[in-house]
Amino acid sequence: MADEHTTGSPRTLKTVSRAFDVVRALEELDGARVTELSNHLDLSKSVVYNYLSTLRAEKFVVKEEDTYRLSLQFLLVGEYVRYQNILYRIGKPEIEELAEKTGEYAHLATEQHGLGINLYKVSGEKAVGSDYQVNKLQRADYLHFSATGKAILAHLPKERVEWIIDQYGLPGKTEATITTREELFEELETIRDRGYSLNDEEEIKGLQAIGAPVTNRHGRVLGSISVSGPVRRMKQPDYHEQLIESVVNTANVIEVNVNMEESDDDFPTFS
């Protein structure tokens, strides 16, 4: 957790790490001035100034008056990364259809560095809260208390799940959150058996979600999808069954299309 920059292996470049400290600080502070950052990061003013000048020259930071902010360059690179992701390219239209069909929130997620990241969200017409929840794409979050996260965990190699728990623990969010290894591995077993995951108020009270994984031909999990809504509605027996089928079905459709696309890569182009 603390910055261990001893001369171990792999060697890590302090100057680069500090540059990203500046980036994170600019995010936390919603933009900042030189002196402010200097205090925040415990670096001399001139040093901070040099970092900001460099980041600005690289176009990842902009300067308005005397305030420095992160630039939209991050968005451009980010959109590129997202578009590179095959699950996003194939899954987006399917998720939109799922949201339309069910009327609930629909999500498309993947895993990176042991945390879950939402690639895309759409709100169906029944979904409340509307714009704010869809626009504000939240930060990477724990996998063990969301429907998308658990669907992913269920299909990751056991050793990797162990590594993730070692790294991040199993922090609780509501009283329903799974917080022990044994419980979690049991739950993952169940998810594998029945083919879908359930988030039963484990992240937010009153919210239920149904998730299903998307794996490629080699069994590697690429990510997962889910729909979510108020427990009151989600728990009605017939509706519940119907949603499960819709989610599982959509996941399968995505899976098939992804695998058709990916199999092209088995015959690499000559270059």
Partner DNA sequence: CATATGTGTTTGTATTTGACGAACGGTCAC
Partner DNA sequence: GTGACCGTTCGTCAAATACAAACACATATG
Residue 218 interacts with, from its own copies, DNA, none (CB under 5-8 Å by kind): none
Counting Cα atoms < 13 Å in the Cβ hemisphere of 68 gives: 26
Other C-beta atoms closer than 10 Å to the C-beta of 108 total 27
Q: Smallest distance from the beta carbon of 154 to its own copies, in angstroms? A: 20
Q: Which amino acid is at 245?
A: E
- Which of 212, 185, 214, 182 is CA-nearest to residue 196? 212
Listed ranges 15-23, 183-191, 232-240, 243-251: which one lies at the site for its own copies (CB under 8 A): 15-23
Other C-beta atoms closer than 10 Å to the C-beta of 89 total 15
Q: Which lies closer to DNA via its Cβ, residue 237 or residue 268?
A: 268
Check residue 113 for interaction with its own copies (CB under 8 A). yes
Check residue 58 for interaction with its own copies (CB under 8 A). yes
Question: Which of 34, 176, 244, 253 touches DNA (CB under 7 A)?
Answer: 34
Q: H/E element holding 82?
A: helix 73-84
Question: Which of 11, 158, 218, 232 touches DNA (CB under 7 A)?
Answer: 11
Question: Which of 10, 129, 237, 268 touches its own copies (CB under 8 A)?
Answer: 10
Q: Smallest distance from the beta carbon of 86 to DNA, in angstroms? A: 22
How far from each other are the two terminal CA atoms of the chain, in whole angstroms? Answer: 43
The owner of tokens 């992804």 is 258
Residues 89/257, Cβ–Cβ less than 8 Å: no
Residue 93 interacts with, from its own copies, DNA, none (CB under 5-8 Å by kind): its own copies
Residues 226/146, Cβ–Cβ less than 8 Å: yes
SS3 assignment, position 110: strand
Question: Which of 44, 100, 140, 256 touches its own copies (CB under 8 A)?
Answer: 140
Q: For the purposes of burial, counting CB atoms within 10 Å of the CB of 71, is it exposed (0-12), middle (13-18) or buried (19 or more)?
A: middle
Task: Please give the residue ranges that form the binding site for DNA (CB under 7 A).
Answer: 5, 7-11, 13-16, 18, 33-36, 43-47, 49-52, 63, 66
List contacts with its own copies (CB under 8 A). Answer: 10-13, 15-17, 19-20, 23, 27, 30-31, 49-51, 53-55, 57-60, 62, 69-85, 89, 92-93, 110, 112-113, 117, 119, 131, 135-137, 139-140
